[in-house]
Amino acid sequence: MAYYGISSNLVLYLTEKLHQGTVASANNVTNWVGTIWMTPIIGAYIADAHLGRYWTFVIASVIYVSGMCLLTLSVSLPSLKPPACGPNTIDPTCTQKASPSQLGIFFLSLYILAIGTGGTKPNISTIGADQFDVFDPKERFQKLSFFNWWMFSIFFGTLFANTVLVYIQDNVGWTLGYALPTLGLIISVIIFLTGTPFYRHKLPSGSAFTKMSRVLVAAFRKRQVPVPSDPMELHELELTEYKKRKQFMMESTTTLRFLNKAAVKNQGMVTPWTLCTVTQVEETKTMLKMLPILVVTFVPSIMLAQINTLFVKQGTTLNRHIGPHFQVPAASLQGFVTFSMLVSVVLYDRIFVPITRKFTKNPRGITLLQRMGIGLIIHILIMAIASLTEHHRLNVAREHGVAESGGKVPLTIFILLPQFILMGLADAFLEVAKLEFFYDQAPEGMKSLGTSYAMTTLGVGNFLSSILLSTVSDLTKRNGHKGWITNNLNESHLDYYYAFFVGLNCINFVVFFIVSRLYVYKAEIDFHDESSSQEMVSVEDRL
């Protein structure tokens, strides 16, 4: 609720209250959101290497709350805002720009939130998943639905933010609109803390980056050493050692075979930087093998960045009235993304999975990568519909003579509904599967880093959105042209911009299809069954 209560309407606050242009405000939003989703890498490192997930989350929550308090003050005190150019209007001739100090305090509070997010986002979902004992068959099966319901609960807060909070910000005031999520955040942290005695707490297991670096360095040092044909000749701990640590053991594979050199037994002084176990090598391989999947999720993350930037700006140009007195806040259409996602997750978990499970024999119904692929196809459809809708909006604007003036286009804002609803459906497939994939495929001691992969893709996507928006805006203004994206959307060509995204999504899907076909799911061995050594292989790997 706190995060989406800010991001959903941030582009309008920047344009209407801080008087920034369309491109500048959109880029400021995507740069901030990009940072929000990049800092989890740091939070994952701190949790895994030093503080553990619980304490990293608690400390980051305090930082988060302080950022929300400062942000609420920055939108409340008159001295921290520029003079208005008109009551809730966007005046392109406005010269009352925000001062450097006003902008500094506002963006300082936003980036304090980004720091707090770095410690909360990668750890809270991981703490939740940690409550299931993977060595217990019943709990391991229950865990298959955890991320579906995790996202379901998150989007309840999002739905409140995109409807109630956005309406309050637009019609009551930004002070109350930011104070409510601040209060909600404080209450949520208190609720989390009350559950402390009941949690399963996992101790820090060491930096994933250090573990991976050791393997890479050891393999490079022994680059001239041949790898034995028999994997049993490689260095590995006794099975009892893994059982004592309650950890999984991983068998040697031929994938990225060069890294196997790190486990080749060597003469002379042995250090963690010269000799690694087979399991450490395979853990590193697992994290590296996920990188191509990570890269192909950047493009759909660019699409998500349009929801709270250009999609919202489109809404401001349309007729938002329902009856004579009520006006729909432009940002509230994001609530349909949330609602669509909520409904889709329930239908997916309760209907789609049981039906497909009968045919595939896969407890998940379909594999995680297949689920992500369906989401990518829906993204292609979304941008095609968005392009056609925008083309129609521009035609109507010209027909009614409001293109040059930037006036309201006599079309209901609800013509944008299909692209918002389909985005929620895409989230139910892609975003949930992405989070579960990077968590599930990450080795046991690198779960926080794996979860941060899912966050990183959103961060990179937002930064790429900023780069693309600025680049396209600049290139299309050359040779005397007005450009595809201007402050007056009625004279812009967002339809061309969205058509460009259709092509980008198609190319990305082809690349995804190739890398997903080449991906091999990890296999772990569980030696905790007292009666026998039972191989625990990912469901997809069995099939």
* Nearest of 52, 25, 135, 510 to residue 296 by alpha carbon: 510
pLDDT of res. 156: 80
Contact 166, 329 (CB under 8 A): yes
Q: Which fold has domain 1-205?
A: Growth Hormone; Chain: A; (1.20.1250)
CA atoms within 13 A on the CB side of 12: 27
Nearest CA-CA partner of 99 in 68, 66, 73, 74: 74
Q: What is the pLDDT of residue 94?
A: 60
What is the phi/psi pair of residue 419, to 5°?
A: -70, -30
Residues forming CATH 1.20.1250.20 domain(s) in the chain: 1-205, 291-542
Phi, psi of 255 (to 5 degrees): -65, 140
- Please give the pLDDT value at position 537: 41
Q: What is the pLDDT of residues 311-352, one digit of tens each?
A: 888 888 888 888 777 788 777 788 888 889 888 988 988 899
pLDDT in tens, 166-211: 889 888 888 999 999 999 999 999 999 999 999 888 777 777 888 8
Which residues have C-beta within 8 Å of that of residue 94, sequence separation ≥ 6?
19, 85, 86
User: Exposed/middle/buried for 151, CB within 10 Å: 0-12, 13-18, 19+?
Assistant: buried
Residues of the chain with pLDDT under 50: 87-89, 526-543
pLDDT at 246: 67
Which one, of 12, 518, 542, lies nearest residue 311 by Cα? 12
Alpha-carbon span 27 to 466, nearest angstrom: 5
Q: Maximum Cα–Cα distance for the chain, whole Å?
A: 85
- According to CATH, the topology of domain 291-542 is Growth Hormone; Chain: A; (1.20.1250)
Q: How far is CA 543 from the centre of its chain?
A: 29
Give the model's pLDDT for residue 95. 63
Number of neighbouring beta carbons within 10 Å of residue 394: 20
Query: What pLDDT score was predicted for residue 523?
Result: 61
pLDDT above 70 covers a percentage of the chain that reads 93
pLDDT value of residue 509: 96
Give the pLDDT score at 92.
Answer: 53
| Torsion over CA: 172, 174, 179, 185 (sign) | positive
Tally of CB atoms within 10 A around 60: 26
Query: Quick one: pLDDT at residue 239?
Result: 77
